């Protein structure tokens, strides 16, 4: 990778993309890379992200804040009435004190909760030779050795066919990460890979929530200029006609743009600005309807009908922006009244 490309890669928001992916696909991540851990967890009870607590712990650390540090609460399936904590570190750049930092966080978390803690590392850097060993400390015979499981993403380079066929959704996250790294500065290759990954999401038998998460993950990792993004959307729309599945990620941006263009054309014909606003509103309403249907299924039908009756652009934009973070239909319904 060229020096300039390395700089762009280092500035990319990899932490945010990885954090979002791990929060949405934790069971798939553990099943793919740490199956023995996945087997011990009672997934019927779900899992809980302890983000605020982790931020407090990080702030008390001398190593400084790290955005991709995650802490989850899970329950064991052994029948014991207790829960354990899973701490995950995503490291996108070489850092000499990486294992020391994980050791420190592990200890702080144990002190904070008085619970068992398991730490895991995801090495997302671009140096194949960087393989951190355990953290070892010793003073006059008093010391110890701290080690934790790690996965090196570069080990999957050149294994695209294997990752594309993998039945585990998290393989797509790894492939998106690798292709984002490889296509830095090459928009033509990136848009082809983005379309390929999006196209490959369907007919895999995955749950809708996992597909939605992967749509967002691919969009986040493989960012493109507007013209190249439009190329991807047009290719996806053509593919939709055959598979009859909606592509939602970035729907707000693209639907708004299509609506504005439609409005501009109508405005030119009629000589009035109202056409542009109507077209923009129509584009937003179509995008909102697709997003609500994919996220909430049949439960969203009454809400979609309400949204289609709206014409106020400010309200439509608020609704569009809120869908991604909404946990229930009522979260969106409150914005309509």
**DSSP string over 133-145:** --EEEEETTEEEE
pTM: 0.70
- At 262-285, the pLDDT tens digits run 455 544 444 444 545 666 677 677
Asked if residue 52 has pLDDT above 60, the reply is: yes
Residue 159 pLDDT exceeds 50: yes
pLDDT value for 320: 81
| Least-confidence region, from 65-79, 88-102, 178-192 | 65-79
- Does the pLDDT value for residue 193 go beyond 70? yes
Q: What is the pLDDT of residue 4?
A: 44
| CA 127, chain centre distance (Å) | 23
Instruction: Label residue 81 by pLDDT band (50, 70, 90).
Output: low
Residue 65, pLDDT above cutoff 50 = no
pLDDT greater than 70 at residue 30: yes
Q: Read off the pLDDT of residues 303-327 as tens digits, 9 standing for 90 and up.
A: 888 888 887 888 888 888 787 777 7
pLDDT of 116-129, one tens digit each? 999 999 999 889 99
Long-range CB pairs of 32-40 (<8 Å, 24+ gap) are 32/166, 32/168, 32/170, 32/171, 33/151, 33/170, 34/120, 34/149, 34/151, 37/86, 37/118, 37/120, 40/76, 40/77, 40/78
Out of 61-65, 72-76, 167-171, least confident range: 61-65
Residue pair 298/258 in contact (Cβ under 8 Å)? The answer is no
pLDDT at 3: 47
Q: How far apart are CA 32 and CA 49, in angstroms?
A: 20
The answer, yes or no, to whether residue 229 has pLDDT greater than 90, is no
């Amino acid at each position: 990778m060229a020096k300039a490309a390395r700089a762009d890669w280092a500035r990319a928001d990899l932490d945010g993309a990885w954090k979002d992916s791990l929060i949405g696909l934790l069971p798939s991540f553990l099943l793919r890379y740490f199956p023995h851990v996945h087997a011990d967890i009672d997934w019927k009870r779900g899992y809980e992200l302890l983000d605020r607590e982790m931020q407090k712990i990080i702030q008390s650390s001398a190593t400084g804040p790290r955005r991709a540090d995650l802490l989850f609460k899970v329950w064991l399936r052994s029948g014991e009435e207790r829960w354990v904590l899973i701490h995950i570190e995503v490291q996108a750049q070489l850092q000499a004190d990486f294992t020391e930092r994980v050791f420190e966080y592990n200890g702080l978390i144990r002190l904070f909760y008085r619970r068992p803690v398991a730490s895991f590392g995801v090495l997302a850097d671009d140096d194949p030779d960087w393989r951190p060993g355990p953290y070892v400390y010793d003073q006059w015979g008093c010391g110890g050795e701290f080690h934790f499981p790690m996965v090196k993403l570069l080990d999957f380079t050149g294994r695209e066919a294997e990752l594309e066929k993998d039945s585990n959704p998290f393989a797509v996250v790894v492939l998106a990460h690798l292709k984002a790294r490889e296509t830095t500065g090459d928009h033509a290759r990136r848009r082809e890979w983005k379309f390929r990954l999006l196209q490959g999401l369907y007919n895999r038998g995955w749950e809708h929530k996992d597909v939605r998460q992967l749509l967002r993950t691919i969009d986040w990792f493989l960012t493109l200029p507007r013209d190249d993004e439009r190329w991807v959307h047009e290719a996806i729309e053509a593919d939709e006609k055959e598979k009859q599945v909606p592509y939602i990620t970035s729907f707000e941006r693209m639907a708004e743009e299509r609506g504005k263009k439609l409005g501009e054309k109508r405005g030119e014909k009629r000589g009035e600005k109202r056409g542009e606003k109507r077209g923009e509103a129509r584009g937003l309403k179509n995008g909102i309807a697709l997003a609500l249907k994919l996220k909430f299924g049949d439960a969203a039908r009454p809400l979609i009908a309400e949204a289609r009756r709206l014409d106020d652009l400010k309200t439509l934009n608020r609704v569009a922006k809120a869908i991604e973070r909404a946990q229930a239909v009522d979260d969106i319904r409150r914005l309509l009244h």
